[in-house]
Amino acid sequence: MIATATKRIAPPKRLLYGPGPSMVEPRAYEAMSQPVVGIFDPYFLGILEELRGGLRTVFGTQNQATFVVPAGGSGAMEAALANFLRPGSKLAVFAAGHFADRMTIMAERLRAQVARLEKPWGQVFSAQEAGQFIERERPQAVAFVQAETSTGAYQSGRAIAAAAHAVNALAIADCVTSLGAMPVELDEVGIDVAFSCSQKGLSCPAGLSPISISPRAWAQLESRSEEPFTWYLDLRLTAKYFDAPHVYHHTPSPPLYYAMQQGLAAIEEEGLENRWQRHRRASERLIAGLAGLGFEPLVARPEDRIWHLTTVLPPAGVDQAALRQKLFEKHGIEIASGLGQLAGKILRIGTMGPLATDENVDVFLRAFAECL
């Protein structure tokens, strides 16, 4: 039973300096309190089109097949894999983090054959490594993580996509953390299938996940003779809702669409390049401040770092769990530790959206230093 039937929602004030969910854009909150309308209402279809246009901008693509999957980021990951793999397909995975492992698990459940190139978590793959691995494995598809949320490492994927195309494989990219806060650039990089989420670089609530598919990959989907295991995440069926004449597949959630349209409009208002640079500057300021306190970046080379998600190793003697607890209790600040093999070893600090400013980095650093 609900304790008090008349009790309203009144969350305590929190500052989400973690790897996501991140702070939500004020315009998105305002949007969610607007009335829902029907799923074929001309007003709603107009919002859809604006949202898709905004997604093409942040994805850096002309792909017509750019829309959202009615699920969280891992649902979009599963959509990307389930629609482009069939039992027995070979998938080559660049594995240096938790989310590459998640793709491996999903692909195996889909009865694909997975080949993995592993590196220590926090590292990225060189062009030579990418080329040799793909050339040797000759897979039907290649999967990599553009911004690995579990380690803080970023790689654009240029060399991986080029090597994939050289053997006629599709390049599938996890852009869950990169989208909206740093370069994704699907068309320039050569990514065929990209998926993301709403609750990190886009400053929206979770629950609705962008996906974009190149014409080359879409043609492959259209010629697919056997249906994927999943109906809910079937991208051909999903696309039929987004494109005219808008055939019913699932029931979209208007508040999440309203929020994302506003999140994207806020990015357009700021300018995508300006937004990227704001995140880059915040990250540099944060890393400098943390270095002054003895925290060392996990990702060695600055050019391999995610701009809005900083991962650091605490100096000897710092109890990272106690530190996080203190930050949370005294300041309402949420940050995270690592996942999987980095659990308890690193701190993950996000400076996303509204928090990626000098002022908010300083707010964080002051509270952090106080809790040490």
Region binding a copy of itself by CB under 8 A among candidate stretches 133-141, 247-255, 299-307, 350-358: 247-255
Question: Would you count residue 105 as binding a copy of itself (CB under 8 A)?
Answer: yes
Which residue's entry shows tokens 């994939």? 164
Tokens describing residue 95: 């594995």
> Residue 152 or 228: which CB sits closer to a copy of itself?
228
> Residue 147 or 256: which CB sits closer to a copy of itself?
256
> Residue 124 or 221: which CB sits closer to a copy of itself?
221
Which residues from 187-206 bind a copy of itself, rule CB under 8 A?
197, 199, 205-206
Gap between the Cα atoms of 93 and 323, Å rounded: 35
> Residue 250 or 281: which CB sits closer to a copy of itself?
250
Region binding a copy of itself by CB under 8 A among candidate stretches 109-117, 183-191, 275-283, 351-359: 109-117
Among 62, 136, 138, 231, binds a copy of itself (CB under 8 A): 231
Question: Is residue 323 within 8 Å of residue 367, measured between CB atoms?
Answer: no
- Kind of pairing, strands 209-213 and 65-69? antiparallel
Residue 82 phi/psi, 5-degree rounding, is -70, -25
Question: Would you count residue 329 as binding a copy of itself (CB under 8 A)?
Answer: no
Closest approach, Cβ 271 to a copy of itself, in A, equals: 9
Gap between the Cα atoms of 315 and 251, Å rounded: 50
Q: Nearest 5 degrees, angle CA 105-CA 97-CA 156?
A: 110
- Of 309, 270, 282, 254, nearest to 22 by C-alpha is 309
Q: What is the DSSP letter of 179?
A: T
Gap between the Cα atoms of 255 and 37, Å rounded: 10
Question: Would you count residue 88 as binding a copy of itself (CB under 8 A)?
Answer: no
**Residue 178: what residue type?**
S
User: Which residues are registered as beta bridge partners of 312?
Assistant: 297, 347
Gap between the Cα atoms of 187 and 161, Å rounded: 11
> Residue 106 or 312: which CB sits closer to a copy of itself?
106
Gap between the Cα atoms of 297 and 299, Å rounded: 5
Region binding a copy of itself by CB under 8 A among candidate stretches 53-61, 154-162, 283-291, 298-306: 53-61
Question: Is residue 20 within 8 Å of residue 350, measured between CB atoms?
Answer: yes
Closest approach, Cβ 367 to a copy of itself, in A, equals: 16
Among 129, 243, 284, 334, binds a copy of itself (CB under 8 A): 334
Among 228, 297, 314, 353, binds a copy of itself (CB under 8 A): 228
Closest approach, Cβ 190 to a copy of itself, in A, equals: 23
Region binding a copy of itself by CB under 8 A among candidate stretches 88-96, 246-254, 278-286, 361-369: 246-254
Among 43, 132, 301, 344, binds a copy of itself (CB under 8 A): 43
Among 48, 65, 68, 71, binds a copy of itself (CB under 8 A): 71
Question: For a copy of itself, how many residues bind (rule: CB under 8 A)?
Answer: 88
Tokens describing residue 368: 């952090």
